[in-house]
Amino acid sequence: MSADLVEARPGVYHDSVSLMRVSAALAGLPGIEVAVVAMATELNLGLAAGLGFALPEAGQGDLLVALRGAGPAELEAARAELDRLLAGLAVRTAQGRDEERSARTVRSAALRGVGDGPATLALVSVPGPYAFAEAMDAIEAGLSVMIFSDNVPVEQEVLLKRRAAELGTLVMGPDCGTAVIGGAGLGFANVLRPGPVGVVAASGTGAQQVTCLLDLAGVGVSHVLGVGGRDLSAEVAGLSTLRALAALDADPATELIVLVSKPPVPETARAVRQAARELATPVVTALLGQGDDLTRAAEAVLRALGISVPEWPSWPAPASPPGTGTLRGVYSGGTLCAEAELVAGSGEFTDFGDDAYTRGRAHPMIDPSLRLDALARVPRGDVALLDVVLGHAADPDPAAGLAPGIAAAVARGVPVVVALVGSRDDPQGLTAQAEALRAAGASVFTSNAHAAGHAASLLAGAR
């Protein structure tokens, strides 16, 4: 019978990305079924209650620890590992405080500068309810800001982006998972060679797919400016997209721009396309739902640069019997999920990276547990389609975590197809990951569109 360990640790703060990693590490320990390590916000307390934990007395400045395991021994081992991981975070935090002792706010840190020059960019990664104040402080200090935080109200997003436009800065986000600024990756970032292509992306995994395909073809990037998945919505109306396009147009290192987005609203798409046509720098668009897909966009970039389009690497499974039921998309990336649904034309698709699934728990690029549960429920005869995204901040060995679930699905008669998004220099090793996934029985494609098309064909061939 399972046992729980629940406690609140007063006055212990760490950022959400660090705590996601701690939660994922604990969830991977033997005998641990559930691990929630997060700040004790109302949202996170609600999540823990929904998982059946008895809540402790806790304030929003406290650290919530909620573990469920096979028994007391497993929980004590997990507690010891938690203490070790938190001690490591505390050391790094203390070192940072020693180095930045006088910087108690974003604005004061900006005034101090970085090295011999002024600060120009702030990265905000705090729980969503607190992101607005920190981001506005950065903007008022004259900084551009990347907001990694999710669950920020759209009304606050609009206020931030309007104020940034007034002050001549750029807001990337909220929920901006990926950016590359002058070769430095922020958030979930692949290892990309430098080059002439600039990217504006209302999509993290969409930007990763396009840039990784370009990297596989030998083409690098100048900058990747994420603007948040809602930027091309009716409410936000492309505020950051328009500024990012103008910034790349003025950048001498950028010879061509790619614009990537989840399906935008038509009026915003028209306005952004018109703005793109007026730039001096040519623009290739990949606006999903507007007749574009990510692979075709990457290929259009290569042709515009006079480079031959390669055959995108793939590792077909030794045998993929046709499916007879439904295509089930089990995704970690929202744009990849939307693209796959558009390419396949039918099926049931779930984006486990959506805010509804990431509240209080690690992103599925780090923690595969929710997707493994979904994969285990795919019935015989259906076809499973999933993405695996490599790069810094992602799972250091995603194939190791997913392979047992893939092998079990294949063994019960579920063909599995994987879209593997990564560059050849990513720390996980693109080829090694592909071969491990293929060994588990999956067909693996570096193009998400090709993966979706192959998965759909397994069902079409049976009809």
Q: Residue 191 sits in a domain of what CATH number?
A: 3.40.50.261
The mean pLDDT value for 2-19 works out to: 87
Given pLDDT bands bounded at 50, 70 and 90, which one contains residue 90?
A: confident
pLDDT (0 to 100) of residue 428: 95
pLDDT tens per residue across span 421-440: 999 999 999 999 999 999 99
CATH number at residue 170: 3.40.50.720
Contact (Cβ atoms closer than 8 angstroms) between residue 125 and residue 148: yes
Structural domain of residue 20, as residue ranges?
Answer: 3-99
Q: Are residues 298 and 322 in the same domain?
A: no
pLDDT (0 to 100) of residue 59: 86
d(CA 80, CA 103): 33
State how many domains the chain has: 4
Given pLDDT bands bounded at 50, 70 and 90, which one contains residue 21?
A: confident
pLDDT (0 to 100) of residue 210: 98
Q: Are residues 187 and 198 in the same domain?
A: yes
Residue that terminates a domain, selected from 99, 126, 141: 99
Has residue 155 been placed in a domain? yes
The mean pLDDT value for 327-353 works out to: 95
Q: Are residues 264 and 210 in the same domain?
A: yes
Name, in order, each residue with C-beta under 8 angstroms of 256's C-beta and a sequence gap of 6 or more: 196, 197, 198, 281, 282, 283, 284, 301, 304, 305
H/E stretch holding 200 reads: strand 194-202
Asked whether residue 98 carries a pLDDT value surpassing 60, the answer given is no
Q: Are residues 365 and 252 in the same domain?
A: no
Has residue 206 been placed in a domain? yes
pLDDT (0 to 100) of residue 95: 54
pLDDT (0 to 100) of residue 92: 60
Please report where in the chains the tokens 């592909």 appear, as a residue: 434
CATH number at residue 30: 3.30.70
Q: Are residues 15 and 57 in the same domain?
A: yes
pLDDT (0 to 100) of residue 100: 46
Q: Are residues 80 and 122 in the same domain?
A: no
Has residue 374 been placed in a domain? yes
Apex CA 98: angle with CA 95 and CA 99, to 5°?
90
Contact (Cβ atoms closer than 8 angstroms) between residue 235 and residue 158: yes
Asked whether residue 1 carries a pLDDT value surpassing 90, the answer given is no
pLDDT (0 to 100) of residue 126: 86
Lowest pLDDT segment from 49-58, 232-241, 388-397: 49-58
> What percent of the chain lies above the pLDDT cut of 90?
73
Given pLDDT bands bounded at 50, 70 and 90, which one contains residue 18?
A: confident
Q: Are residues 270 and 359 in the same domain?
A: no
DSSP state of 38: E
Q: Are residues 345 and 327 in the same domain?
A: yes
Q: Are residues 125 and 29 in the same domain?
A: no
pLDDT tens per residue across span 277-305: 999 999 999 999 887 899 999 999 999 99
Q: Are residues 191 and 55 in the same domain?
A: no
pLDDT tens per residue across span 161-191: 999 999 999 999 999 999 999 889 999 999 9
The mean pLDDT value for 129-145 works out to: 94
- pTM reported for the whole predicted model: 0.81
Residue that terminates a domain, selected from 44, 70, 99: 99
Tell the burial category of 11 from Cβ atoms under 10 Å away from its Cβ (0-12, 13-18, 19+): exposed
Asked whether residue 79 carries a pLDDT value surpassing 80, the answer given is yes
pLDDT (0 to 100) of residue 358: 75
Say which residue, 105 or 390, is predicted with more confidence.
390
Has residue 105 been placed in a domain? no
In degrees and rounded to multiples of 5, residue 30 shows phi and psi of -60, 130
Lowest pLDDT segment from 123-132, 238-247, 438-447: 123-132
Residue that terminates a domain, selected from 175, 208, 227: 175
Exposed e or buried b per residue across 440-450, where buried means at least 16 C-beta atoms within 10 angstroms of its C-beta: bbbbbbbbbbb
Q: Are residues 123 and 220 in the same domain?
A: no
pLDDT (0 to 100) of residue 116: 63
Q: Are residues 300 and 186 in the same domain?
A: yes
Contact (Cβ atoms closer than 8 angstroms) between residue 3 and residue 53: no
Asked whether residue 17 carries a pLDDT value surpassing 80, the answer given is no
pLDDT (0 to 100) of residue 103: 64
Give the residue from 253, 302, 305, 256 showing the smallest Cα distance to 279. Answer: 256
Has residue 82 been placed in a domain? yes
Has residue 328 been placed in a domain? yes
Has residue 104 been placed in a domain? no
Lowest pLDDT segment from 19-23, 74-78, 331-335: 19-23
pLDDT (0 to 100) of residue 118: 82
Given pLDDT bands bounded at 50, 70 and 90, which one contains residue 9?
A: very high
